[in-house]
Amino acid sequence: MTTRPSASPVLQDGVKRGSHSLEPKAPPTGGGEAPAGRPEFFTSTATSAGAIPLIDHGPVLLTLNDDGVANLHLNRPDAANGLDLELLEALHQAILRIHGDGRVRAVLLTGEGKNFCAGGDVHTFLAKGEQLPDYIRVATTLLQAAAAGLIRLNPPVVTAVQGFAAGGGGMGLVCSSDFVIAAESSAFLAGATRVAMVPDAGVSVTLTQLVGFRRAMEILMLNPVIRAPEARDIGLITRVVPDAELLPEAWKLARQLAAGAPAALANTKRLLWSGLGRDAEAAMPDENHAQAILSGMADAREGLAAVIEKRTPSFTGR
């Protein structure tokens, strides 16, 4: 059910994947070195004897355990679980499948390999050239559907983060989760404005509600690399655990939630999400419109090229 990552370097939203470690290409305004000392490879496997594979191949896997926990697993480790159209479509379909399965009492979202999710593939973005706005419209729509789907699910969603959660994909999924458990070596990076685009997946609303307006402005405009302890302290995530305890602790929490009163938890979740003020889904069309416009500008192509070439971009406002 799992595939070991290859050693070929892949760039996603400013994250470089090498054979031994991932390092963010830190912008002049923030950032730092990659987390050190994390395990070479993370994998999520069903630990229940009664596990039922619902989707057992492809870029997204889905397993239902007899304790009611559905493990939703990103399975594109060779690209740091970067969100291409195939993965996004598979993720949306898997979430819809969970939504229609009354046996699911809690969801555990995990990612194969060294990183939870490194966002969008900047190589693919740059290769699209003038067709990038059309590609972005489709990708953003699918990502928004996945993020909204996690928020709308009745079962609570626990996300386990190792390595990096970066870009609209990584940060978007984190911000759309109900609980986030992070390995102490993990880190978070927004990254959208580094390539002259805007955050999506409802992050303009969810991140602000999680960390506050001023901190969200800093995270989204200056793109600092946020270490797991800081992410916990500012409210971006729920808990930090030692690397070796990430999956056991995430499974423990998911099973605790699965053993709870499902209707009470579902309604509590609904009330909390709907109490955010402006609904995250209401912000998504605005994000999508801005993303489509910006991705067609020269600055977006310059930002993508600068990330790939590991240099400081030169933006002109065109």
The answer to which of 95-104, 116-125, 195-204, 291-300 has the lowest mean pLDDT is 291-300
Name the residue among 135, 130, 84 with its Cα closest to residue 288. 135
- What is the rounded distance in angstroms from the CA atom of residue 136 to the CA atom of residue 134? 5
Structure tokens at 266: 């579902």
Domains of the chain: 10-309 (3.90.226.10)
pLDDT of residue 11: 34
Asked whether the beta carbons of 15 and 80 are under 8 A apart, the reply is yes
Residue with the two structure tokens 């059309």: 134
Predicted confidence at residue 216, as pLDDT, reads 96
Q: What average pLDDT does this structure show over 44-53?
A: 67
User: Residue 71: what pLDDT?
Assistant: 97
CA–CA dist 62, 285 (Å, integer): 29
* Tokens linked to 154: 């009745």
38 pLDDT more than 70:
no
Query: What's the rounded mean pLDDT across residues 253-262?
Result: 93
Two tokens, residue 148 = 């909204």
- Give the model confidence (pLDDT) of 215-237 as tens digits: 999 999 999 999 999 999 999 99
Query: For tokens 């580094």, what's the residue?
Result: 194
Inter-residue contact 78 to 3 (CB < 8 Å): yes
The per-residue pLDDT for range 179-229, each reduced to its tens digit, is 999 999 999 999 888 888 888 888 999 999 999 999 999 999 999 999 999
Position with higher pLDDT, 295 vs 248: 248
Phi, psi torsion values for 285, nearest 5 degrees:
-60, -35
Confidence class of residue 152 from pLDDT cuts 50, 70 and 90? very high
Q: What is the mean pLDDT of the chain?
A: 82
What is residue 222's predicted lDDT score, i.e. its pLDDT? 96
**Per-residue pLDDT at 226:** 97
Nearest to 158 by CA among 264, 44, 275, 281: 44
Q: Of 195, 14, 43, which is closest to residue 115 (Cα–Cα)?
A: 43
Q: Which residue has the higher pLDDT, 121 or 156?
A: 156
User: Is residue 307 very low, low, confident or very high in pLDDT (cuts 50, 70, 90)?
Assistant: confident
Calculate mean pLDDT across residues 58-77. 96
Three-state DSSP class for 93? helix
* For residues 258-266, average pLDDT: 89
Mean pLDDT (whole number) for 47-65: 88
Q: Which one has a higher pLDDT value, 8 or 122?
A: 122
* pLDDT for the residue numbered 294: 72
Q: Which of 47, 44, 65 is closest to 2 using CA atoms?
A: 44
Angle made by CA atoms 49, 50, 52, in degrees to the nearest 5:
125
